[in-house]
């Protein structure tokens, strides 16, 4: 039988013999310390963050020394949570199915204890009987028993699940007297560890906490540059391709901040789709800076369920939407405080993170996807307004950014020149992106440099057919501030190894003279526009 080539997987659990994966050994060793200590804990991370893959790898990693029961609530229908007897029987059935799994049969359990659980399930049982059987099973096993439950979100709206957690808590507190699990690991998106914040968009919040014995799980499950580079080196050895793994890994991390699904998605594009495009046909040509940029451009247009879920969550939580909009378009800064319900929700869903004490969008791809979503909504609201003709801005296949800046200056002055200062300050950057988006749409992409985004200054980096353009947008605060802006932009251009940049100033001075000029700053050429 021919051996199937490994590939990058973005659908479901990853298996090392089938898929390219980062090395999880360091993470597994850290989680094992919690298990050895007898901790009960929750792995709550955003969707498609590698939770199920990690649990599967952990079960294999522990099974020499522990009897590991790994189940998922996703396989239990909502009807199975309607009352205590039904849930207890369903849990026992799922538990026993894991015990008897032919491929991963659990070792170390006493057959008589397993048989008792089966008889109790057949005769009808409540939670008390269920936990009596589980305690007996733990008491007679020849090694400590570890219970893992994936997809606990499926149950978390149900009272019977809260009762189940309360029983686990009581068993944990009484474990010096009554045998129970060595460790219990729950995995899901929502923070089951602390149910005082049970999220319900249109309902009340629960404040009871039957899982308050859980240890904090702080392990970073995102992929580092080293993680990504190791996976790429593994791939390059298999395929016989020369790749600058460290450089490519750094670029992928810049776009994804190590979000596992997005990392795998970029790699899958570079392996499977980019080589078929013009200019990338040679072996290994896809694994370049231009290839990464093209992969990101395609991903930003794809209807992945991760992005669909993001849109739905923004509809469910308008306060989260408002905060993200203010950060992206108005340069607002929000102190990061996990006690804030809306910040906690955004973090839990993986949309935001802490960056130097303030709230930041979790990664560049999410950020650009959010910009595109908000801009698309704004475009629909102004559907009657004429959009710029894209063809005039593209010459010989490349973007004429000089013309983009010149035409936007004319467009803005004509339509918004008499607007109030407050309107311009709140909407200037949004209006430029609304102008830019249809011009580069389909052939290029853009992102906002998070290091420079604030109320006064925002840098936009545009990738178009392998060329980059840096546009600094800022509020005019006088000539001295403008000179410092030129110097900052010149330094930024050096980082990108570019000779020319663009400075777009929104000026509130009533005596201003709108227009465009070109200045030199050291060896850099800067095209400045004042509107």
**Span 163-193, pLDDT tens digits:** 899 999 999 999 999 999 999 999 998 876 5
CA distance 115 to 133: 10
448 and 523 in a common domain: yes
Would you say residue 520 lies in a domain?
yes
284 and 242 in a common domain: yes
CA distance 187 to 148: 8
* Confidence category of residue 310, pLDDT binned at 50, 70, 90: very high
If one compares 280 and 31, the residue with the highest pLDDT of the two is 31
Would you say residue 11 lies in a domain?
no
pLDDT in the model for residue 198: 46
| Tens-digit pLDDT profile for residues 366-409 | 999 999 999 988 877 664 455 677 788 988 888 999 999 999 99
Q: Is residue 370 within 8 Å of residue 324, measured between CB atoms?
A: yes
* Confidence category of residue 195, pLDDT binned at 50, 70, 90: very low
For 330, left (φ over 0), alpha (ψ -120 to 50), or beta?
alpha
The percent of residues above 70 in pLDDT, for the chain, comes to 92
396 and 270 in a common domain: no
| Tens-digit pLDDT profile for residues 263-285 | 999 999 999 999 998 888 776 78
- Which of 237, 269, 294 terminates a domain? The answer is 294
Beta bridge partners of 147: 69, 184
Task: With CA atoms as reference, report the closest residue to 512 among 422, 428, 417, 435.
Answer: 417
pLDDT in the model for residue 26: 96
Statement: residue 194 has pLDDT above 50? no
445 and 329 in a common domain: no
Decide: helix, strand or coil at residue 340.
Answer: coil
Report the b/e string of 426-445 with b at 16+ CB within 10 A.
Answer: ebbbbbbbbbbbebbeeebb
Q: What are phi and psi of 467, to 5 degrees?
A: -105, 145
Would you say residue 14 lies in a domain?
no
243 and 105 in a common domain: no
161 and 100 in a common domain: yes
Full residue range of the structural domain in which residue 496 is found: 386-531
Q: Is residue 284 within 8 Å of residue 242, measured between CB atoms?
A: yes
pLDDT in the model for residue 428: 82
The answer, as to whether pTM is greater than 0.85, is yes
397 and 369 in a common domain: no
CA quadruple 294, 297, 300, 305: dihedral, nearest 10? -20
Task: With CA atoms as reference, report the closest residue to 160 among 73, 82, 71, 93.
Answer: 82
Residue 25: how many other CB atoms lie within 10 Å: 10
Task: With CA atoms as reference, report the closest residue to 531 among 452, 414, 446, 441.
Answer: 414
- Which of 154, 178, 197 terminates a domain? The answer is 197
CA distance 68 to 60: 9
Give the CATH number of the domain where residue 170 resides: 3.40.50.300
Within 358-512, where are the H helices?
Answer: 364-381, 401-416, 421-440, 479-495
* Confidence category of residue 199, pLDDT binned at 50, 70, 90: very low
Would you say residue 478 lies in a domain?
yes
The percent of residues above 90 in pLDDT, for the chain, comes to 63
528 and 415 in a common domain: yes
CA distance 470 to 492: 8
- Which of 362, 385, 408 terminates a domain? The answer is 385
Range with lowest mean pLDDT among 35-49, 192-206, 399-413, 471-485: 192-206
141 and 37 in a common domain: yes
The two tokens of residue 34 are 């919690």
If one compares 192 and 479, the residue with the highest pLDDT of the two is 479
526 and 481 in a common domain: yes
Would you say residue 211 lies in a domain?
no
Domain count, the chain: 4
372 and 334 in a common domain: yes
Report the b/e string of 446-482 with b at 16+ CB within 10 A.
Answer: bbbbeebbeeebbbbbbbbbeebbbbbbbbbeeeeeb
66 and 139 in a common domain: yes
Would you say residue 436 lies in a domain?
yes
């Amino acid at each position: 039988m021919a051996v199937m080539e490994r590939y990058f997987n973005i659908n479901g659990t990853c298996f090392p013999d089938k898929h390219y994966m980062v090395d999880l050994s360091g993470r597994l060793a850290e989680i094992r310390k919690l298990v050895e200590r007898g901790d009960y804990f929750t792995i709550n991370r955003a969707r498609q963050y590698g939770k199920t893959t990690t649990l599967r790898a952990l079960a294999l990693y522990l099974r020499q020394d522990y009897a590991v029961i790994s189940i998922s609530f996703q396989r239990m229908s909502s009807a199975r949570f309607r009352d205590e007897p039904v849930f207890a029987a369903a849990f026992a059935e799922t538990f026993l199915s894991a015990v008897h799994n032919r491929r991963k049969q659990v070792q170390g359990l006493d057959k008589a204890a397993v048989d008792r659980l089966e008889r109790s399930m057949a005769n009808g049982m409540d939670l008390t009987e269920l936990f009596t059987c589980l305690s007996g099973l733990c008491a007679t096993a020849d090694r400590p028993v570890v219970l893992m439950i994936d997809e606990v979100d499926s149950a978390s709206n149900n009272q019977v699940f809260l009762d189940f957690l309360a029983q686990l808590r009581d068993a944990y507190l009484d474990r010096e007297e009554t045998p129970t699990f060595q460790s219990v690991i729950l995995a899901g998106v929502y923070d089951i560890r602390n149910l005082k914040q049970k999220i319900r968009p249109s309902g009340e919040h629960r404040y009871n906490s039957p899982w308050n014995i859980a240890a904090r799980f702080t392990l970073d499950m995102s992929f580092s540059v080293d993680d990504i580079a190791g996976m790429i080196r593994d791939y390059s050895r298999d395929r016989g391709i020369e790749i600058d793994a460290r450089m490519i890994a750094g670029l992928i991390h810049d776009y994804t901040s190590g979000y596992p699904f997005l990392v795998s998605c970029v790699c899958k594009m570079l392996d499977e789709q980019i080589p078929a495009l013009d200019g990338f046909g040679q072996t290994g040509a896809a694994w370049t800076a231009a290839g990464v940029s093209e992969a990101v451009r395609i991903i930003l247009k794809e209807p992945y369920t991760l992005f669909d879920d993001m849109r739905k969550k923004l509809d469910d939580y308008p306060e989260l939407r408002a905060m993200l909009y203010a950060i992206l378009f108005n340069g607002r800064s929000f102190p990061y405080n996990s006690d804030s319900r809306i910040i906690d929700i955004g973090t839990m869903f993986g949309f935001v993170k802490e960056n130097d004490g303030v709230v930041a969008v979790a990664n560049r791809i999410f950020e650009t996807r959010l910009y595109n979503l908000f801009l698309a909504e704004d475009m629909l609201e102004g559907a009657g307004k004429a959009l710029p003709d894209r063809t005039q801005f593209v010459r010989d296949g490349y973007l004429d950014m000089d013309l983009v800046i010149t035409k936007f200056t004319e467009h803005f002055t004509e339509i918004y020149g008499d607007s109030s200062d407050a309107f311009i300050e709140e909407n200037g950057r949004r209006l430029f992106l609304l102008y830019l988006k249809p011009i580069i749409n389909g052939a290029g992409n853009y992102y906002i440099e998070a290091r420079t985004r604030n109320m006064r200054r925002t840098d936009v980096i545009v990738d178009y057919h392998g060329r980059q353009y840096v546009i600094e947008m800022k509020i005019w605060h006088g000539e001295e501030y403008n000179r410092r802006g030129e110097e900052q932009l010149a330094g930024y251009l050096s980082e990108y190894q570019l000779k020319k940049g663009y400075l777009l100033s929104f000026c509130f001075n009533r005596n201003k003279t709108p227009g465009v000029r070109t200045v030199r700053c050291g060896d850099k050429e800067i095209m400045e526009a004042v509107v």
